Amino acid sequence: MNNAQVFENKRILITGGTGSLGKVLVRRLLSGELGRPKQVIVFSRDEAKQHYMRMEYLQRAVTTDEVIYQNFRELLTFRIGDVRDFHSVSSALQDADVVFNAAALKQVPTCEYFPYEAVQTNISGPENIIRAIREQRLPIETVVGVSTDKACKPVNVMGMTKALQERLFISANLYSPNTRFVCVRYGNVLASRGSVIPLFHDQIRNGGPVTITTSDMTRFLLSLDDAVDVIFEAVKTANRGETYIPRVPAAKVTDIANILIGDRPIKTQIVGIRPGEKIHEILVSEEEAYRTLERSSKYYAILPMLPEIATSVVEKPALTGEYSSENSVMSPTDLAAMLKARLLMLDQVSPTDGAEFLR
């Protein structure tokens, strides 16, 4: 099939489909940009979020500007279930051709205080997907594990559990040869639930102060649509066991705060690093660099560590060292331009997401 139509007539399951990423993923799938799916299944444990998401689509005349679905209720469906529960995962997978595992506990301090909860969602959840496919010989074509830069050289529970999710999905290629398991790994997503920009917005609305953990902190930045682009690119071009990495800019957190504050009389306050936080994030480690290829001007691909899975040979690695946010920092001018463009785009979807802060 043409890569431009990879989702044509496919049944697509999204675990954690009511989250920030899941919502944008659903919108992009329904747009038909990579083919019209036969069905998009949102799988999550929160019935209230599913209800509001369902009502949002029921009240639209069209699902996107490009495609009108006369009977989209058959196209977009919702299933209550928890990735921690093997039986509900197994049941949901019966109807899928492609699986996006976006279910996660992703708040770094929360995972530090409740590490076993992170283990159950971020490790046992993926294992339930793998086990169901393997034991029931389900004809699922592709599984994409959504990971994070915190999985690279992890120092916190969230990153450790996500790193193990990556290894679980990669090794699953050995035992389910008819299913392609791949991963994507990226950094801080602008305006996603729990990320730094919505926090700064709330603090600015309330008159400050804007709290910064340390003045040295840097973060990779990309939008939710950029994150979905990485996922779609992996579906289109990744080989079994590969991990896709976007080539994205980074910024100092202090610069983000100052740009959002602008000329308002609001102070910043250094409060210290939260439990489990890094000063800089890394998308590719030194160990991974020697098996990293350049797939395009926008993406790197990390080949699997297991030689039985790797299908490519690295004659000339794309990187000579780790890919760190410390080494990719934008100037304040470039950052301001990026934030303005990205947050204006977000405002087209939700007018409260941030362009009001960029005068």
Tens-digit pLDDT profile for residues 114-173: 999 999 999 999 999 999 999 999 999 999 999 999 999 999 999 999 999 999 999 999
Tokens coding 263 = 């000329």
pLDDT of residue 273: 86
Q: What dotted CATH number matches 3-186+223-247+282-324?
A: 3.40.50.720
Identify the residue whose tokens are 């120092």.
155
Range 93-107 average pLDDT: 95
Q: How confident is the model at residue 30 (pLDDT cuts 50, 70, 90)?
A: very high
Tokens coding 183 = 């991963």
Tokens coding 80 = 């209550």
pLDDT of residue 344: 58
Which residues partner with 242 through β-bridges?
A: none
The tens digit of pLDDT for each residue in 255-276 reads: 999 999 999 999 999 999 888 8
Active site residues: 150
Tokens coding 137 = 């010989």
- Give the C-alpha separation, 179 to 336, whole Å: 43
